[in-house]
Amino acid sequence: MLISKKLNAAFNDEIGLELFASNQYLNMAAYLERVPLKKLAAMFYKQADEERGHALKFVKYLCDVGGTVVIPAVKAPTPTFKSVEAVIENSLEWETEVTNRINAMMAMAIEQKDYAAQDFLRWFVTEQVEEMATMDNLLKVVKAAGEHSLIMVEAYLAHQG
Ligand SMILES: [Fe+2]
Ligand SMILES: [Fe+2]
């Protein structure tokens, strides 16, 4: 086995969290679609797919290094949200938490001199910078538009292409 038990366990936990994030973003997409903010919803549907992709990367890596894949129970996402701003705030908080977890796994891989895991995790370090920047930017745009002019956010996203 080319991965320690401790790192293997952390990777399995991360698979659960990425799948949770996927469901959470899917739930948010449905909420946004009903507002209706279709472009913002589309962004969250895409985000949901990406999070599932992240989970798959961990699964594949564990298989490649002869680790053990144990998909954990995934808790239910938050059922509803009080505002669009709350959705984005919640997403930014979540991404911050994930960044901390990725960094903690990287620290573990460095401590264990697991160079392959470091290489693998580096992709997530970069990805998290992008994820946090996206949510932070979106939060600023939603706040600037205000709860009554959210349609401007759609125009903003349309302009972004
Ligand atoms: Fe992710
Ligand atoms: Fe993410």
CA torsion 7-50-60-4 (nearest 10°) is 0
Mean of pLDDT values over 3-15: 98
In terms of DSSP H, where are the helices of the chain? 5-34, 38-64, 84-111, 115-145, 151-160
Ligand 2 center from residue 94 Cα (angstroms) = 8
Whether the full predicted model's pTM is greater than 0.85, yes or no, is: yes
Q: Look up the CATH number of the domain holding residue 88.
A: 1.20.1260.10
What digits encode the pLDDT tens for the residues 88-106? 999 999 999 999 999 999 9
Tokens of 10: 């952390």
Domains in the chain: how many in total? 1
3-state SS class at 42? helix
**Ligand approaching nearest to the C-alpha of 51:** 1
pLDDT for position 3: 98
Ligand nearest to the CA of 129: 2
Q: pLDDT class for 87, splitting at 50, 70, 90?
A: very high
Ligand 2 centre to CA of 91 (Å) is 8
Nearest ligand, CA of residue 17?
Answer: 1
pLDDT in tens, 120-131: 999 999 999 999
Residue 161 has pLDDT above 80, yes or no: no
Query: Confidence band (pLDDT; 50, 70, 90) for 21?
Result: very high
Residue 100's domain spans which residues? Answer: 5-160
Residue 77 Cα, ligand 1 centroid: separation in angstroms? 15
